[in-house]
Each structure stands twice: as structure tokens, then as C-alpha cells.
Amino acid sequence: MGGHFSCMLSKDKRPSRKNSWRAPKPIKGSSSTKPSKLEEELLQLYQQHMRLERSSSLRYPTQSSKQGLSRSASARSRQSTDPLVQPLQLLNKQEAALKAETKLIVLVHGGGFGAWCWYKLLASFEEAGFSAHAIDLAGSGIDSSDPNCVSSLELYVKPLLEYMEKIAEAEKVMLVGHDFGGACISYVMERFPQKIAKSVFVSATMVANGQSAFDVFSPEVITADDLLQKSQVFVYGNGNTHAPTSVEFKREVLKELLFNQSPAKDVALASLSIRPMPFAPILEKIVLTLENYGSVPRYYIETTEDRALTTAVQQNMIKQNPPHQVFRLKGSDHSPFFSKPQGLFKLLVEITQIKSKTV
């Protein structure tokens, strides 16, 4: 469906918005010319994630489609006996990577986010001896594409496809997708199954064959009170008589929706960095086959305090498309890389150490 949208934005015509919002004003400093301690910390934090992006992110923007799978090749759905993930003893960082089935980790952000959101995980993986890379998808992070002009899922994930094409056949990766990044890594699993050791869905849209990311929000698990429904603002880049070209969140509810358990400094960073998300890719139905997508072991990490992808939505996806194993990150909001970075890191390292033959 995404391919039917056209990008006809003129330089002097701004996209119209329904229930549009105004970006928050910059944080005011004191009357002195010296920046406040909070401003200095935020500046250092922003500069840190920009350095990580330049060294670890890839960017670009094309088109396609595929076909097959009636059901996933999963082993089982989550059981009530599956443990809640508690902070474990500190990892022996020198041994963590040595026990891993793969040391190459590729982190894929969710809708509106960018490679910047993974800065804590990138540092942790590097210190533990892994090679971790965060990708800016088209129209996200510091990628220069206009989100209103990203008209297909393949165009949206092109930076990730470019990265995967460069990986040698013998060097398999572990894909980690957050939020809409789950649909994105599913698309890539279908294209490059031989290059993927395993995939991890972190509070992510884990679609089944023939589904779009939009389809996971089925009527039986969505209520009128869901915060996500009330927080979205559609952007009409081609005018109000055409379909929306992107979607964004109302700034005044960002913390409540996405970062309700996250530190204030990370919320401030996200408020400065988050961008509108291309709308067409969300509606595009994905064809997944047993031979390709189904051959890659899948793991799901539930976030128990999530107000964007609620527990009901996550568990419904797991029921419809069971992964090999489900983990729960207790106390995490929709952004565990901010609210529970150590817990998420330990879980991901644990998953790297699961041998494929035992799955």
C-alpha cells in the first residue's frame, strides 16, 4: 500500500497536521552566560550519541515486495513458568563475548527514534568485547531523508539492507528490533536468513505472514482509553485530501507514553531527537516464508510497564506468532534502553549465548 503514496512537497508548502503541536521551546538557562549544570550534561549526552552515530550508524533510502508462510516455525509460546528478568549479578565482561554464538549485534530503532536511542547499549556491548552497530533508517535520526517522502517499507529499511549486503556469509549477526523495528527486522530476515544467527524483538511489532505493523493493534486488545490512540498526530504532506504521509506524537504526552520509567535526561534527549515516522511502511503487509523468515530463531522481550505497546498487545502478538522463547523485563517502559539499560543488556548477552542447536 505504501507504494501508492507520492511525495509532492514543495519548498514553500509545509505539511498540514491534524491536531498539530508546537515543538517545545529550548531549555532556558540562568541569567548568567554560563550554561547550567543540566544544560552541560544534556549537551555532553547529545554529543556522545552523535559520536556513536557517526561511528556506528548507517543511512540511505528503494522498493520491493515478497511472498509465503502460513505459520511461524516457532517452538512454543511463553509459559507462565518463564522467569521474570531481575537484575542479575554483574556480567563477567571478559567472558561474555567469548561464550556468545555471535559477537556482531545490529540494533534497529523504532518509529520516530534513531540510532541515538541505543547509546547506552552501544557502550555496554563495546566494553564487553562485542561489535555493535546502530542503524538510522530512512527519515530517522540524522538521516537526511524527509519522512513524508518515504513511501515503502523497502525504502524505509534501505540503510539496513545496505548494511546486510556488505556482511560476509560466514559472519552472522544478531538483529535486535524495537517497536516498529520489529517489522523491519522481519523484512530483513526474509531477505538475508543465511546471515542472521537470531533475532530479538524488544517490545516490538512481531508480525506474522501477511500482516502489517498496523495489524498488530487488533480491536480485541485496543480500548478507547489506550494512550497511543490519543497521542498520534497525522501529517498530510500531500494535502488533506490525500492519505497521511507521516505520523508523530504529541510532545506533551511523550514522557507518559514512551518514557514513563526513564531518567529525565534521557527523556530530554529523546524530546530533542525524535522525528515524525513515515506512515506508508506501517500499513505495508509483509510476506514471510517458512524457508527464510521461519529459519531464523526468534526471541521476544516483553516490557511490563509499557504504555505504547501494552502487555495485552505484546502477548497477543506472541500468541499469534510464537517465538522460540519469551523473556520479561520487569519495570521497563516502552524504552528499555533508557529505563532498564543494564537489564536489557544482560538479557541480550544471554540470548547471544543460546546455541542454535538447542532452539
Domain ranges of the chain: 41-71+90-354
With pLDDT > 70 as the criterion, what percentage of the chain qualifies? 70
> Of 58, 65, 107, whose CA–CA distance to 285 is shortest?
65
pLDDT, average across residues 243-255: 93
The answer to whether 334 is a known catalytic residue is yes
Where does 41-71+90-354 sit in CATH, by number?
3.40.50.1820
Name the pLDDT band for 36 (thresholds 50, 70, 90): low
With pLDDT > 90 as the criterion, what percentage of the chain qualifies? 65
C-alpha to C-alpha distance for 74 and 208, rounded to whole angstroms: 12
Name the pLDDT band for 9 (thresholds 50, 70, 90): low
Q: Catalytic: which of 179, 215, 266, 333?
A: 179
C-alpha to C-alpha distance for 23 and 14, rounded to whole angstroms: 15
> Of 184, 180, 208, whose CA–CA distance to 309 is shortest?
180
Name the pLDDT band for 70 (thresholds 50, 70, 90): very low
Starting at the edge strand found earlier in the chain, the sheet holding 131-135 runs: 84-85, 325-329, 298-303, 196-204, 173-179, 104-108, 131-135
pLDDT in tens, 134-152: 999 999 999 999 999 999 9
Classify 81 as helix, strand or coil. Answer: coil
- Residue 277 pLDDT: 97
Whole-model pTM: value is 0.76
> Of 83, 133, 149, whose CA–CA distance to 350 is shortest?
83
pLDDT in tens, 96-139: 788 899 999 999 999 999 999 999 999 999 999 999 999 999 99
The answer to whether 333 is a known catalytic residue is no
The answer to whether 179 is a known catalytic residue is yes
Q: Catalytic: which of 143, 146, 306, 333?
A: 306
Starting at the edge strand found earlier in the chain, the sheet holding 16-17 runs: 16-17, 232-236, 246-249, 277-278
